[in-house]
Structures are given as structure tokens and as C-alpha cells.
Amino acid sequence: MHNPQQPAVPRIDVERHRRALLAAAADELARNPESSMADVAQAAHLTRATLYRHFSNRQTLLQAIQAEALTRASETLIACRLDEGSALEVLQRVIGSLGKHGMRFRIILMKASDASPRFLTQRDQVLAPVVEVVKRGQLEGDIRADLSPEWIVTAMASLLIAAVRAAPTTKHSDVDVSDLIFRTLVGGIAPDNKNLNAKNPKAQN
């Protein structure tokens, strides 16, 4: 006897649903880290059944968001034009762009363990191009040469993570936070605070 089967969901719809779920989950969990799977499905305008077909539980959803966040961070760095301008100008663009990126994927920075070897390794791989920017800045005299480039980038990442985690308790705009991070970082890495006030209208007024 023939048993009719339900038609398979077209692959293009499967991918579209997955992208919609990841985008909705990132936005919903950034707004409220305690949002449920049902809240995520509702935010994506999809059913819970559809959500669970893609992500069997909250942990797999968070892992997928983390992978998406790392991919988007890599794309963000490419858009920062790492070869244009001085190293400090590049770092200023990177901090501003990654700060906005981090706010969207805040749930990952809130939940990810700082001691997770896998997370730290993946983060270091994404930030590797920034290490090269710092090395260039050291050769050009814009950044202190007695500090490890890897340490400088780690310090930058730590400041960004701290700012994203503290966002609900601060009243600063994204621009203000990026400026504070840049000035805090550059105050420690630029020789004699070189270029600390460069392109900083607030400091020049």
C-alpha cells in the first residue's frame, strides 16, 4: 500500500529559515539573555517545531550563534580596510565596528566562558589580521615596540567584551563607548600618548 509522504521543504526555504532564526535569536537574546526558545521562534515569526528542527536545544542554538558571530566579525574586519591609514586609525575603525558587532551578539559574550580554549582559539584566529596591524604600527613608531602585538590585541578584545557586558548599566552611546575603549587602549600602547587626540573632536574642543 502506498504511503504518501509529506513533501520535503525546499532547501532554499531551509536555509532561509535557519538564517531568520539565527538573526532573530541574536537580536532577541541580546535584548533579553533569558529569552526562551519559544520567544526566539516568535521573534523569527516561525513555529517552535521549525526552530527545533534546526536546533535541538538552547545549547546548539548558542553554538550556532557563536559560529555566526565569528563569521560576521571576520567580515567586519575586512570591511574596516586594515591596510588604509595609520595603525592607530585602523584600530579606531576596528574598535568602533567590532563594538557594534559585539552588541548584536551580546549573548555570546555574556555566556561564553573566558577560559574556553576553543572559544579563545577561534577568537584569536579571527583577530589575527589585527595583530598584523599592530606589528605595522610598531614598525612605523605609532605603537610601543616593547609590548607583544598579541597582548595588545588581547587587551583590545578584553576591553570590548567588558564594554558589551556592562552595556545595560551604562548610559553611553556606541560612539562614546568606542571612544572610551580607543583612548584607554591607546593611552597604554602609543609612545608618549602619540596621536591620542587624533581625530577626536571632543578632546580638541
**Total-model pTM:** 0.76
Residue with cell 549573548: 107
* Choice between 173 and 84, residue whose per-residue pLDDT is larger: 84
- Please report the pLDDT score of residue 137 as a whole number: 97
Distance CA 24, CA 171 (A): 25
Report the 10 Å Cβ neighbour count for 137.
Answer: 24
Domains assigned to the chain: 10-56 (1.10.10), 65-194 (1.10.357.10)
The residues, ordered by sequence, that sit 6+ positions from 94 with a Cβ below 8 Å of its Cβ are: 77, 80, 82, 130, 133, 156
pLDDT digits (tens, 9 = 90+) for 95-118: 999 988 887 887 777 765 555 778
* Contact assessment for residue 90 and residue 133, using Cβ atoms and an 8 Å cutoff: yes
Name the amino acid, one letter, at 122.
Answer: Q
pLDDT exceeds cutoff 70 at 196: no
* DSSP string computed for 1-56: -----PPPPPHHHHHHHHHHHHHHHHHHHHH-TT--HHHHHHHTTS-HHHHHHH-S
pLDDT in tens, 146-194: 999 999 999 999 898 888 877 665 555 667 778 888 988 988 888 865 5
Neighbours of 34 (CB within 10 A): 7
